[in-house]
A and B are shown apart, each in its own frame.
Chain A
Amino acid sequence: MTNVIENAGRSVRTALAGAGDMVVFGLRALVSAVRPPFELVETLRQIQLLGWRSLSLIATSGLAVGVVMSMHTRSSLERFGAESMIPTVLGIAMIRETGPLVTGLLSSGRLGAGIGAELGGMRVTEQIDALESLAVDSFKYLVVTRVVACMVALPLLTIFFNVSAIVGGWAAETTVSGMTFGYYYRNAFSNIGFSDLIPSTLKTVVFGFLISSISGYLGYNASGGAQGVGQASTRSVVLSAISLIVANVVMVKFILFLFPS
């Protein structure tokens, strides 16, 4: 009995210590990001790898989500005869919440797993040690560049997601009602204010930070060979997705507090 309690206590302590480490790791990345020297070329390379290469995934998902949301919105608004509201409803839903959140979750899958596995792989094959042995600050070179790249890429990906979702929504709508694109996008933006677009897009910077610092932490500190790499990758996705959702709740509350609609 005492053993069980002891074990439970130990795992709680380990979990808390791990969380604490993770927070320190993330903050260290932020501080290091603003201190010279800057790994500019490597950061750009990471933006290309993490951002540009996710673009097709994000754009395709955006289109699909737009189409599906448009169909759902239509079926419920049709009952009130409010089909003309479809673009408006879709625009609000996408830009305020669905766009940022879905982009974040997709990225926590694509980028979180990628960073976790890549850094984990580099750790267990001693590539990180090799970097250090070559007088390179591996934390700065590997982690900070990815954190910065993700923080830049996420809002951009969100914008691309929103745009393709609106295009997808229009495509679905025009096949049914023949609505013109001009009418569609003007209406999509008809109920959106700056306080809808700007905070919700910028909050994905936080998503980018969470994804990259969590998966960076797990990958950078991976151990135990191929199995350890797989574990780092899986846990990166799970932890970053969960933390992202929780952070989203907090941020939405905060945004609504700052910009009551």
Chain B
Amino acid sequence: MKNGENAIRFENVSKAFGKRKVLDGITFDLAAGGVYCVLGRSGTGKSVTLKLMIGLMKPDRGTIRILDREITGLDSRELAPVRAKVGFLFQYAALFDSITVGENIAFPLRRRGERSDEEIRRQVEEHLDAVGLEGNYDKMPAELSGGMRKRAGLARALALRPSILLVDEPSSGLDPITAKEIDEVLMGLREKHGATLVIVTHHITSARRMADEMLVLDNGRVVARGAPAELETSEVELVRELFRAEDVA
């Protein structure tokens, strides 16, 4: 995937829960290889946008294309090849808590059809190293701290070397120092893999640190989009509020 091609494309996508419209005909393109931060108030559909990208939710209207493949209307099995190229880091990591950390990361490898236990072990150790969790293969998820869990979740999301990585609130529930560490791991990965990153956050500082482009959502629409430097001078009320909030923090 070369830079400049579209990795993700939303066209006129709407999604409502009961009477509450979360997305209201939203349209945007995200070019491959970039780092995008999606910002907005709580409950403005940031996480929903992310889940639509991997088919965990279906839009009410509109079309979504991932890596030039239309995914609206695909069932679980048809989605599988697309999902194999997209990694997802969940807000609380969502590690399978009945198996060890190592087995969590080995899980996608095994599902892909990897047979050799040694090969799996080797790859898992490599991924654990990459996120700074070496030596935690046999720990259960419950034994890890929040930050370590998030790293393990990241290692699992990257196990199949996806070309798109979706990240839901990387810093939520973490102290600022740990949150910064996670951000650094993400940036390091970007440099190593060159994957497209879509990061949902309400943490403007980390967004500014990482993002090539920022998208601000409000009332189910994209109200502002641009590089962090451009948005600093934005006329949009919400964007100004967001940047002010950072100053206070």
Tell whether any CB of A sits under 8 Å from a CB of B in the complex: yes
Contact A135 B79 (CB under 8 A): yes
Stretch at the interface among A92-100, A125-133, A179-187: A125-133
Compute how far the CA of A125 lies from the CA of B90 in the bound complex, rounded to whole angstroms: 9
Q: Which residues on the A side are within 8 Å of B86 (C-beta)?
A: 133
Q: Is A189's CB within 8 Å of the partner chain B?
A: no
In the complex with contacts A129-B51, A129-B56, A134-B111 CB distance below 8 A: yes
CB distance from A140 to the nearest CB of B (A): 8
Contact among A127, A135, A137, A139 for B94, CB-based, below 8 A: A127
Q: Which residues in chain B, 59-113, are within 8 Å of chain A measured between CB atoms?
A: 76-77, 79-81, 83-84, 86-88, 90-92, 94-98, 107-108, 111
Closest-CB distance, A115 to chain B (whole angstroms): 13
Cβ of A19 under 8 Å from chain B: no
**Cα separation A137 to B76 with both chains bound (whole Å):** 6
Interface string of B141-159 (1 = CB under 8 A from A): 0000000000001001100
Closest chain-B Cβ to A118's Cβ sits at a distance in Å of 8
Q: Which residues of B contact A132 (CB under 8 A)?
A: 54-56, 76, 83
* Distance from B152 Cβ to chain A, minimum over Cβ atoms (Å): 12
Q: Does A198 contact B (CB under 8 A)?
A: no
Is the CB of A17 closer than 8 A to any CB of chain B?
no
Say whether A136 faces chain B, with CB atoms less than 8 Å apart: yes
Cβ-defined contact, A135 with B51, below 8 A: no
* Chain B contact surface mostly: mixed
C-alpha spacing A126/B80, complex, angstroms: 18
B96 and A133 contact, CB distance less than 8 A: no
Q: How far is the CA of A125 from the CA of B86 in the complex (A)?
A: 20
Give the B interface residue count (CB, 8 A): 29
Shortest distance from the beta carbon of A17 to any chain B beta carbon, whole Å: 15
A137 CB contacts on chain B under 8 angstroms: 76-77
Smallest CB separation, A96 vs chain B (Å) = 38
B96 contacts A127, C-beta separation under 8 Å: yes
Q: Within the assembled complex, what's the spacing in Å between the Cα atoms of A15 and B57? A: 24
Bound Cα distance from A193 to B87, whole angstroms = 59
CA distance A127 to B77 in the complex (A): 18
- Write out the residue numbers on chain A whose beta carbons fall within 8 Å of the beta carbon of B80: 135
Min CB–CB distance A224 → chain B (angstroms): 14
Q: Is the CB of A130 within 8 A of B90?
A: yes
Q: Closest Cβ of chain B: how far from A33's Cβ, in Å?
A: 16
Q: Which residues of B contact A131 (CB under 8 A)?
A: 96
A129 and B107 within 8 A (CB): no
Complex CA gap A126/B153 in Å reads: 12
Contact A133 B92 (CB under 8 A): no
* CB-nearest residue of chain A to B98: A118
**Smallest Cβ-Cβ distance to B84: which chain A residue:** A135
- B90–A129 touching, CB < 8 Å: yes
Shortest beta-carbon distance from B231 to chain A in Å = 30
Asked if A133 and B97 make an inter-chain contact with CB atoms under 8 angstroms apart, the answer reads: no
The answer to whether B97 and A127 have CB atoms under 8 Å apart is yes
Task: Name which residue of chain A comes closest to B80, CB basis.
Answer: A135
A-B contact pairs, 18 of them (CB 8 A): A118-B98, A126-B94, A127-B97, A129-B88, A130-B94, A130-B96, A130-B153, A132-B56, A132-B76, A133-B86, A133-B87, A133-B88, A134-B83, A135-B80, A135-B81, A135-B83, A136-B111, A137-B76
Question: What are the nearest 9 A-B pairs in CB distance?
Answer: A130-B94, A133-B88, A126-B94, A135-B80, A135-B83, A126-B90, A134-B108, A137-B76, A127-B94
